[in-house]
Amino acid sequence: MQREIVDGQICQLYNCHLCCIETEMLLTKLDIHRIVKKTSIPAKEFVILNEDGRPMLKNHQIDNKVQCYFLDSEGLCSIYEIRPEGCKFYPFIWDLTNHHIIADDYCPHHCKFRKSPSITKSLEEFIFRLFGKL
Ligand code: SF4
């Protein structure tokens, strides 16, 4: 059965946070601004530039796991309410090669998520904000 992505229901159902391990999640300026404002954590603590010079979430090592700066020891997102936009859309991502939205097969439950027209539209707008074009 497929479900629309709504507040991590499927992730909670399977107690899964694989996407937060060795994350490569890109960040918008708005994401960074919101997180700094709400947490008072300086951007340099949780932002790193990827090889294209785009800001993404920083990982750190905890008990042999390289994981998102914001993943807590219970496997939960410590900034869930204000998490980056890209995290909300995951497992849907932008396929940079073929220029369309795909469900990332790195997510073991990606087949269970349904991409509604409204999610597609919001995700396209998000991608536009990230890359400036589609
Ligand atoms: S910000 Fe939260 S949801 Fe996003 S990768 Fe980090 S721990 Fe996971």
User: Tens of pLDDT along 48-61?
Assistant: 999 999 999 999 99
Q: Which domain holds residue 25?
A: 3-131
35 lines ligand 1 (CB under 6 A): no
Q: Which of 79, 83, 26, 93 is nearest to 56 (CA)?
A: 26
In terms of pLDDT, which residue wins out, 116 or 82?
Answer: 82
CA of 55 to the centre of ligand 1 (A): 14
pTM comes to: 0.89
Which of 24, 57, 67, 107 gets mutated to test ligand 1 (max ligand atoms within 8 A of its CB)? Answer: 57
Q: Is the dihedral of CA 110, 76, 35, 60 positive or negative?
A: negative
Question: How many domains does the structure of the chain reveal?
Answer: 1
Whether 130 is in the pocket of ligand 1, judged by its Cβ within 6 Å, is no
Sorted by sequence, the CB contacts under 8 Å of residue 31 that are 6+ apart come out as: 84, 85, 86
Is the Cβ atom of 27 under 6 angstroms away from ligand 1?
no
**pLDDT surpassing 50 at residue 1:** no
Give the separation between CA 119 and CA 122, rounded to whole angstroms: 5
Region 102-115: mean pLDDT is 92
Upper half-sphere CA count for residue 28 (Cβ side, 13 Å): 19
Strands 55-57 and 47-49: antiparallel
Does the beta carbon of 89 sit less than 6 angstroms from any atom of ligand 1? no
